[in-house]
A and B are shown apart, each in its own frame.
Chain A
Amino acid sequence: MIALEAINVTKIYGSGVNAVKAVDDVSLSVRRGEFVALVGPSGSGKTTMLAMLAGLLKPSQGQIVIANKDIGQMSEGKRTQFRGRYIGFSFQANNLVPYLTAQENVELLLRLNGKLNRQGRQRAHDLLTRLGLGERLRNRPGQLSGGQQQRVAIARALIHEPEVVLADEPTASLDTERAHQVVQTFADLIHEQNRAGIMVTHDLRMCKYVDRVIQMMDGKVSRTIFDRQAILQLAGSASDLEGVPPSPAAEPASLGL
């Protein structure tokens, strides 16, 4: 079942001679229980695409449909409300509210959706414990390591059972070992909870945990990799943080179905 669909989405910054097409007629979709990596070099349009999928940015053209609603047509207030209900986020930094404990940070989305009750608290507790933070529930972000903070952010992104979970460079501030731990946990939870997940990353090694890789180049989808072996090969060949070079052998851009 498709959880998220982008149809012919274009984003143009500026106007006239200064107009820049950051995303150019991109279509993609993500099913429930599917974890997708959006990769590409700097300036390829992947972050702009993620911002539009998240409802943080209105597309200049095209549609973004989540839960059968075109979020591109919504007012800013409606989109904010929609994000709180249907989308889970993990950012590369500044993920957590510094004056709330780990448990309170996770419960924030339940509180926002009016679902904070005894069961909700228990679920937040269980999720954090599952993520290895059972002893850190009452710690504030400043008392947690970068990896622990990312795991709290993952728990927060999933606690309110959103339609779509989005992660922007979730491993940017982590060492290799912790980066693998975080993304693996993220992937496991997306699969277990049957959510649609999209991760923007520079680190191709993290692609081994995803089901599909969408590569962007100059605002367009330059290739989509479905094949498990090809994905593992891509992740295995990446020795450090680098963008994916365009490959003539790659499959053409598609809806990814």
Chain B
Amino acid sequence: MSKTVINMSNIIKRYYIGQPNELQILNGISLNIHEGEFVSIVGASGSGKSTLMNIIGALDKPTEGQYLLNDTDISKLSDKQLSDIRNKEIGFVFQTFNLIPRTTALKNVELPMLYAGVSKKDRTKRAKELLELVEMQDRSTHKPNELSGGQKQRVAIARAMANNPSIILADEPTGALDSKTGHLVMDIFHKLHKEEGKTIVLITHSPELAAETERIITISDGSVISDTGADVSVPGNTEVSA
């Protein structure tokens, strides 16, 4: 088996700890995701998938449990180290694209490399290559307000790839697009997966979209209720597999 990129064991997330309205969103999630996998995490709204995504993406820390990203324990890192993880290990793709306004496509793609301290020359070179990969090289000088939804998402994917991260974390990437453009965006994810061997985690509420991926993890009420690629080596996963 290939290298384990994400190793979560018994992840619990609670909000308003110690207050009367204390809320437990994740009830002990354990899962393993390996290098090169294209995984979808499916769940209805309120199931806790966004919270799980935030934890996978190092935007948030679990209340309990251990999360190893490339063997690094995320829950023990400082804010500054988390920034570094987000910068180099995670590539975010959002539902609403989240490009920086008034900034060209090229500059948007360069941004993660700017934060990583890559030189101007190398940044521009890599950003151009990435825009070519998502077939957006003709729009590199366009600003987000001059791009269509599908174009924006392709720029966002190129940006997510900037520092060659361990995982691409896509949160409802086709949610704001019509089905045709949505398919085009999904094609890019497939291309990245097959040609670049990227580990992709797709978060969605749509079973059809999930069906395109290799492995579907279904979440409900803060627990994994099914995992088509359940890994018996992870303790706790056996009992929840469908």
State yes or no: do A and B come from one complex: no
Q: Could you list which residues of chain B lie within 8 angstroms of chain A, going by C-beta atoms? A: none
